[in-house]
Structure 1
Amino acid sequence: MGNSNSALSQCLGGVANGRSGFVSYPENPLYQISWVKRYNLDVHVTPAAVVRPDTSQDIADIIKCATANKVKVQAKSGGHSYANFGLGGDDGAVAIDLVNLQEYRMDPTTWYATVGAGFRLGEVDKRLHETGRAFSHGVCPDVGIGGHATIGGLGPMSRMWGSCLDHIVEVEVVTADGKIQRASETENSDLFWALRGAGGSFGVITKFVMRTHPEPANVVQYSYTAKFGKQADMAAFFSSWQDLIANPNLDPRFGTLYMMMPLGAIINGVFYGTQEEFEATGIPASLPNGKDQLEASDWLGSIAHGAETEALALSNIASPFYSKSLGFKRSDLIPPAGIKQLFEWIDQQDKGTLLWALVFDAQGGATSAVAPNATAYNHRDKIMFYESFAVGFPLQGKTKQFLTNLHNKILQLAGPGAYGTYAGYVDLALGTDAQNQYWGANLPQLQNIKVKWDPTDVFHNLQSVQPIAS
């Protein structure tokens, strides 16, 4: 391993203090399978070590070992980064796997939930459900809250309640100097601002204090499945859906997405209220008629249904895949003629795989009601994101080229202001423009805060915030 890595392993061994299952290194024949566990198999990365701490003090000591040996650090919660950033994104980092940080408690006075950074979203929902509470997040149950809540945490509830990070009241975080800190609006407020949108660049959050809401008593779920031989036959369906989500008065209790797949498309919607309230909004009249409309029996059931739809696009199972994405302001939405042209173009392309999907996800509502500089998350003006996926065994160059050409086609047809994307949709092809695309006008402030809290760039991945001097 060399002198530096040998010194690192000795230091981490001291932190382990005889505990088994605490740390592993590349020499372990099961290292990649049992410890590293890459999510995107097309992105190869070998950390210098993977550590599974039990406490915040463990994490503080691990960070001190890494900095003493000039090794970068990244934390992994669920491990669903598209570029494996929880493993460092590049060889030689110390990856801190937060799987053992499972603290949970609910304050029955404030209804604030304290949630350990190792929790997966599905388990969080089960714990919240025990007291009839909820907060906004995405629908994939195996995604870890540690990364999700620090990037944004978008999902069908975002239009009603805001993003997941909008619910963070306070965090416990270990900073680059190995100190265990608290951060909130009143304590270390600059760090708190940065952690809500760019968390992986500023520290390892060990626990969150989250504002919660009463769990909705009624949920109406809508789905429409169209099966045609050509995408061009469905251009009118998409145009109608886009007109609906472009309405500035669209009821914020309604979340929806349009998913294009080979030979078909799905329009999925969730309304947090009763069937009668849903009908009164006028939304059903704008959707295709008579297909699979139902009222979920409970809150957890609605989340499970959303997870099923999401799984059609990108499985929780590790695979070699590629993805592109873009955010749209209302003025940037694709006009009807452009939609027709886009869908016809898609029909003509050689995708190189049958495992591909194109997802358009409505945003806005409560998320847009927050000022763009209130947190590091910048995309408050976006009312829709598109995201493409393609999986291949192996992933072919023509498949990546299809998604790249598709992205360029969308840019050509969208409004001239279409730019930027959500940091949760990691795209290595963005290169040096990634930070501008993810954080926009908030990037200079993030760079200044980085100088204060992490001047030597301990918390680093290929697209993380850099100190402004760099």
Structure 2
Amino acid sequence: MSNTPAQAARQELTGFTGELIGPDDAGYEDARAVYNAMIDKHPALIARCADADAVARVIAFARTHGLRLAVRGGGHHGAGLGTVEGGVVVDLSPLKDIHVDPEARTVRVGGGCVWGEVDRATNAHGLATPSGIISTTGVGGLATGGGLGHLTRKCGLTIDNLLAADLVLADGQQVRASADENTDLFWAIRGGGGNFGVITSFLFRLHEVSTVVAGPTFWPIEVSADVLTAYRDFLPNAPRELSAFFLHGTVPPAPPFPEELHLRKTAGVVWCYTGDDTEAAAREMAPLLDALPTPMLHAAGPMPHPDMQGMFDGLYPPGHQWYWRADFVNEISDDAVELHAKFGAETPTMQSTMHLYPIDGAAHDVGPNETPWAYRDARWASVYAGVDPDPAGAERVTQWTVDYFEALHPHSAGGAYVNMMMDEGQERVRASYRDNYDRLARVKADHDPDNVFRLNQNIRPAPKPHFETRP
């Protein structure tokens, strides 16, 4: 009787630095779980790698045995691209080293860290680097796909603050990519996702961000069109220190929200002013607030930056059913406003939501070809997220998400933020990288010609030129 992949790995990977977990092991069910409970895959082997050498050995093992390979940092991807049915998962969770250099204003981060860990370490020095909006998100997936969040307008995307990375390539080679080393690879990993290798360590630039003035403002869903109209006109003219994303959602039935607002559908804005000057923050928020009816709740106040980053963690723990769709948006037309209002009123569950994240300000300081992120001219990234803790609600939230997306997609710029896409096919991937796709495909051909790293928003290797030989 032939060995299972897990048994073969234990025999072949002697002295492995980490943990090898197979379907017969006691911890397998916990080890295979990812953030989105709609994803239910059963890897043949989960390899928790404690160093880059372990990563290289697992890649070689998977290739030798013809097994598909997935790479997991935080496991947050909506489409479950950090796991694989019947294949091998490179689980980076043991790679937790974080080193802050406050003088150089940099932080070196292990590939298995989540953003909350990084935020707390850097905040101890009054510093931060841009990331997302949920602190349990893995560093690796978010950083390689772009990195969009509360600090984007002030400090740029996460990829704009990536200074270097250490990678294990498909052939097991360990390399560093930076502005001075492997420059094509460095260009590609700043937005091209996990297509080019397994990143075991990141080096990020830090900014002086310690306390922020942050929190939500909620209006009744019935005035959603008015709120979105005022928001679209207000935010592009606001200073970079002020970020605000628009949302449709439901007020959670828990503190700190007043009981009379619990479970009310809402149109809202989530603020983040980078600085501790509450009066300045109030002045900058005032034009939007003054243009609208008195909100049900205005709860923006000073807090440490990591608290802002973790504000949504309790609402979105691991284990919910998720279905996402996304688009880049240049302009929010009156017709789009009305469609948003319609679908916002039909939000199917408390956790389901739509967000419009601003991507102007510092994100527009970088050219469309300087990184793979091709939509530097877009002003917003929209995401439609159907979410339900109950598996019985999966079909309902999926349908709402798809209907919402399909109604608004004609009003979009065409592509989408790859970290918020499901597994939607090559045409959608190409549309999201625009003219940068062909260069990405050439870099892919140089570093992963066999497409070993294909469980992602996949960049297919460019075919090698064929030259005819004449007699």
Partner of 1:401: 399
1:380-421 CA-to-partner distances (Å, cap 9, x unmatched) read: 222112211223422443432222221121124x2xx62111
Q: CA–CA distance in 1 between the matches of 2:16 and 2:366?
A: 48
- Output the amino acid matched with 1:41: A
Q: TM-score, normalised by structure 2?
A: 0.87
2:269 counterpart (267, 270, 274): 267
Deviation at 1:457, TM superposition (A): 0.8
Q: How many residues align structurally?
A: 443
Deviation at 1:197, TM superposition (A): 1.1
SS in 2 for 1:324: strand
SS in 2 for 1:40: coil
Partner of 1:28: 25
SS in 2 for 1:22: strand
Residues 92-171 of structure 1 aligned to structure 2 (within 5 Å) = 92-171=86-165
SS in 2 for 1:376: coil
Q: Does 1:220 align with 2:213?
A: yes
Q: CA–CA distance in 2 between the matches of 1:452 and 1:74?
A: 20
Partner of 1:239: 229
- The answer as to whether partners of 1:352 and 1:396 remain within 8 angstroms in 2 is no
Q: Does 1:468 align with 2:462?
A: yes
Q: Which has the higher helix share?
A: 1
Q: CA–CA distance in 2 between the matches of 1:75 and 1:462?
A: 9
Comparing 109-118 and 392-401, the one that deviates more: 392-401
- The answer as to whether partners of 1:232 and 1:344 remain within 8 angstroms in 2 is no
Deviation at 1:278, TM superposition (A): 2.9
What do you get for the CA RMSD once the two structures are aligned? 2.5
Partner of 2:281: 278
- The answer as to whether partners of 1:320 and 1:394 remain within 8 angstroms in 2 is no
Q: CA–CA distance in 1 between the matches of 2:127 and 2:363?
A: 20
Over 4 Å off, 4+ runs? 288-291, 351-355
- Output the amino acid matched with 1:255: S
Partner of 1:420: 415
Q: CA–CA distance in 1 between the matches of 2:421 and 2:177?
A: 26
2:240 counterpart (232, 244, 252): 252
1:439 counterpart (433, 443, 457): 433
- The answer as to whether partners of 2:209 and 2:274 remain within 8 angstroms in 1 is no
- Output the amino acid matched with 1:321: W
Q: CA–CA distance in 2 between the matches of 1:396 and 1:295?
A: 35
Deviation at 1:270, TM superposition (A): 1.1
Q: CA–CA distance in 2 between the matches of 1:369 and 1:423?
A: 20
* Cα distance change on mapping 1:168 and 1:12 into 2, 3 Å: farther
Q: Does 1:183 align with 2:177?
A: yes
Q: TM-score, normalised by structure 1?
A: 0.87
- Output the amino acid matched with 1:256: A
Q: CA–CA distance in 2 between the matches of 1:388 and 1:311?
A: 19
Q: CA–CA distance in 2 between the matches of 1:77 and 1:110?
A: 26
Deviation at 1:35, TM superposition (A): 1.2
Q: CA–CA distance in 2 between the matches of 1:37 and 1:45?
A: 8
2:194 counterpart (185, 194, 200): 200
Deviation at 1:160, TM superposition (A): 0.3
Instruction: Point out where structure 1 has 5 or more consecutive residues left out of the alignment.
Output: none
Comparing 151-160 and 103-112, the one that deviates more: 103-112
Partner of 1:340: 338
Identity across aligned pairs (percent)?
A: 24
Q: Does 1:303 align with 2:309?
A: yes
1:328-352 CA-to-partner distances (Å, cap 9, x unmatched) read: 01xx3222x44235424654x5x66
Comparing 385-394 and 10-19, the one that deviates more: 10-19
Partner of 1:72: 68
Instruction: Point out where structure 2 has 5 or more consecutive residues left out of the alignment.
Output: 251-264, 465-471
